[in-house]
Amino acid sequence: MALVEIDKAYKRYGTVEVLKGISLDIEEHQVVCLIGPSGCGKSTLLRCINCLEPIQGGEIRLHGDRVTGPGVDLDLLRREIGIVFQSYNLFPHMSVIENVTLGPVKVLGMQRNAATDKGMALLERVGLAAKAREYPDRLSGGQQQRVAIVRALMMDPALLLLDEITSALDPELVSEVLDIVRDLATKGMTMVLATHEMGFAREVADKVCFLQEGLVYEEGPPSQIFGNPQGERTRAFLKRIIDAGRL
Ligand SMILES: Nc1ncnc2c1ncn2[C@@H]1O[C@H](COP(=O)(O)OP(=O)(O)OP(=O)(O)O)[C@@H](O)[C@H]1O
């Protein structure tokens, strides 16, 4: 059984159908990259996986248990599935260490000292231990995004969702965030990334999923999607990316 099974997930906003029956399996330790044209539903799919948005049809399962529909324990689910957004969303009135320890202390009931130790160890790992007492507005975008990743990791999630996490960053700050993601991938973290960073997707993904108009149009290893795409629309999409000098 896959860690996550997305089974014909259907989502609409009003009359606009955004996900039209997406099916996708995510295996443990896999890195899955969602690519596709703007508006194809990448972010929406991530938000549906951790129930920030309800789906209106189909089912999503984690460890074989349904995480969509009535009766789901959202607190438990959000411990298992972490999400990092494009706009870091740190609390501005809290220091870095307060931001990353809040969840474990409040939600998991972890002792503050233990949470601080864990937070410091993770901040060290992303090169930000020295910034622990700073407030977010004293950090660069790349540093804030690394803190947001640490905040998600503090909960020891089974799955990490990364929604365009480098899109708001100045180009020179992108690589410091991608380095962290690359490191997590080598350590076996299961991740799903919605991304426009095609070079990165080609390098780190185990599976690349090309979405088109709310459906999985083509999925496969990066060697297939970037080297030998089977579908006409995948080829057209990649040609546009290559012509724009982004791959
Ligand atoms: N809260 C919402 N209310 C109404 N429509 C929405 C909402 N969120 C997203 N949509 C619509 O759903 C569609 C898919 O949006 P989504 O953000 O998932 O696409 P995306 O593939 O992540 O795009 P991008 O690459 O530009 O981030 C778009 O047409 C968008 O306008």
What is this model's ipTM? 0.96
Range of the domain at 138: 4-243
Contact 29, 190 (CB under 8 A): yes
pLDDT (tens place) for every residue of the chain, 247 residues total: 999 999 999 999 999 999 999 999 999 999 999 999 999 999 999 999 999 999 999 999 999 999 988 888 888 898 899 999 999 899 999 999 999 999 999 989 999 999 999 999 999 999 999 999 999 999 999 999 999 999 999 999 999 999 999 999 998 899 999 999 999 999 999 999 999 999 999 999 999 999 999 999 999 999 999 999 999 999 999 999 988 888 7
For ligand 1, atom 10: residue with the closest CA: 13
Residue-level pLDDT at 78: 86
Left, alpha or beta for 39 (phi > 0: left; psi -120 to 50: alpha)?
Answer: left
Nearest alpha carbon to residue 161 among 12, 52, 22: 52
Contact 26, 32 (CB under 8 A): yes
- CB 220: neighbour CB atoms within 10 A? 18
Substitution candidate for ligand 1 out of 20, 33, 44, 241 with most atoms within 8 A of CB = 44
Q: Which two tokens stand for residue 62?
A: 């984690």
State how many domains the chain has: 1
The continuous run of DSSP H or E covering 14 comes out as: none
19 lines ligand 1 (CB under 6 A): no
- Report the nearest atom of ligand 1 relative to the CA of 40: 21
How far apart CA 148 and CA 55 sit, in angstroms, is 26
Amino acid (one-letter) located at 115: A
How far apart CA 2 and CA 246 sit, in angstroms, is 32
Q: Which two tokens stand for residue 217?
A: 């149009």
How far apart CA 215 and CA 169 sit, in angstroms, is 28
44 lines ligand 1 (CB under 6 A): yes
How far apart CA 221 and CA 61 sit, in angstroms, is 23
41 lines ligand 1 (CB under 6 A): yes
40 lines ligand 1 (CB under 6 A): yes
Residue-level pLDDT at 244: 86
Contact 235, 229 (CB under 8 A): yes
CATH number at residue 22: 3.40.50.300
How far apart CA 68 and CA 11 sit, in angstroms, is 12
Contact 72, 64 (CB under 8 A): no
For ligand 1, atom 1: residue with the closest CA: 13
Residue-level pLDDT at 171: 87
Substitution candidate for ligand 1 out of 43, 45, 161, 197 with most atoms within 8 A of CB = 43
Is 0.90 topped by the overall pTM?
A: yes
Q: Which two tokens stand for residue 28?
A: 């443990």
**Residue with token string 């689910």:** 77
